[in-house]
Amino acid sequence: MPHLILPPSCRVPDREITPPEVFRDRRRFLKEMAAAGLITLAGPRLMAQALSRSVSPEAQSAALSLYPAPRNGQYAVDAPLTEQSVAAAYNNFYEFSTAKERVARLSADWQTRPWQVRVDGLVENPVVLSIEDVERLAPLEERVYRFRCVEAWAMVVPWTGYPLRRLLEHVRPTSEARYVRFVSRLDPEEMPGVHELRHYAWPYHEALTMEEAMNDLALLVTGIYGEPLPPQHGAPVRLIVPWKYGYKSPKSLARIELTAERPPTFWNEAVPSEYSWTSNVEPDVPHPRWSQATERRIGTGERVTTLPLNGYADQVGQLYT
């Protein structure tokens, strides 16, 4: 793995310090209740309980009042939904672990409210938004999307959010803005994975062209399965770009920046021969170590044909002609 020289802007962790006292009492209370067998912390309402462990009661009820959001039937997928408990137990979130099955447990107590997102760069109206501001900036809706990881596994899940375009319009990009850069929060005290993977260019960062970011399918996501995002899925706000490989959908966003130059991206920088900057789902273009022609649906294990642009060619094909 190459050693990477980081530009100065990447060296400063984009994180907000949350005083742990704000949450400690409730978390200790829940843990004691769980230890005494009075409540269960795992079960069918897995997500709401994950939220309750990392969020103050006030923030929790404010958040829960927005979910579930009405489903937008225009974005249906002709396949059954992946089971909620399957998706929630098989995650790529390298800040916590490279072991997919361990991410949920390692991230369960990570505090994701209060939370702020900075949106700045080449915009007329730079803002710092609380997660509550983000959730209320535009009407939340639910969309069922296909999701395809470059490792050739896939799922079909209902995300809650609104088009990223709504946020970009709010900050009014200048005419020089050509790219949108996304930076995930880096919280080394809570993220065991970053200590094991020191050679990566943390914080996790990704980018889209302006045209991609403005496409209706690019979704700013705050919920999944009708509930606020739990930590392992990228709480409290992430991006979902369903026509690209999963690593183009960064989690737990701290900053969104509009730029004139094409920003470097995490996996493309780390291994350019394996991960292109654009990283569209292209079944005809094999990854150097495996085919991309088919995918395995997690949960059922069913193997299905991978579709060009992950089945979204009608909506985004014109961006690449």
Residue 111 or 173: the one with the smaller Cβ distance to ligand MTE is 111
Residue 176 or 274: the one with the smaller Cβ distance to ligand MTE is 274
Q: Hey, which bits of the chain come out as E strands?
A: 116-121, 127-130, 141-148, 153-163, 179-184, 205-209, 219-224, 227-228, 238-240, 253-259, 294-297, 303-305
Q: What is the DSSP string of 25-76?
A: HHHHHHHHHHHTTSS-SSSTTHHHHHHHHHS-HHHHHHHHTT-SPPB-GGG-
DSSP tag of 5: P
Q: Which stretch binds ligand MTE (CB under 6 A): 89-97, 127-135, 136-144, 280-288?
A: 89-97
Q: Which stretch binds ligand MTE (CB under 6 A): 209-217, 244-252, 268-276, 302-310?
A: 244-252
Q: Is 187:15 a contact under the CB 8 Å cutoff?
A: yes
CA–CA dist 226, 69 (Å, integer): 7
Residue 88 or 258: the one with the smaller Cβ distance to ligand MTE is 88
For residue 219, which amino acid is it? L
CA neighbor of 238 nearest in space, from 160, 316, 149, 150:
160
Told to check if 149 binds Mo ion by CB under 5 A, we report yes
Residue 49 or 107: the one with the smaller Cβ distance to ligand MTE is 107
Q: Which stretch binds ligand MTE (CB under 6 A): 93-101, 167-175, 282-290, 303-311?
A: 93-101
Q: Measured from the CB of residue 103, what is the shortest distance to ligand MTE in angstroms?
A: 7
Told to check if 246 binds Mo ion by CB under 5 A, we report yes
Q: Which stretch binds Mo ion (CB under 5 A): 48-56, 79-87, 104-112, 246-254?
A: 246-254
Binding to ligand MTE (CB under 6 A) within 6-45 occurs at none
Number of residues that bind ligand MTE (CB under 6 A): 16
Residue nearest ligand MTE by beta-carbon distance:
246
* Coil, helix or strand at residue 250: coil
Residues near ligand MTE (CB under 6 A) are 91-95, 149, 184, 204, 233-234, 246-247, 249-252
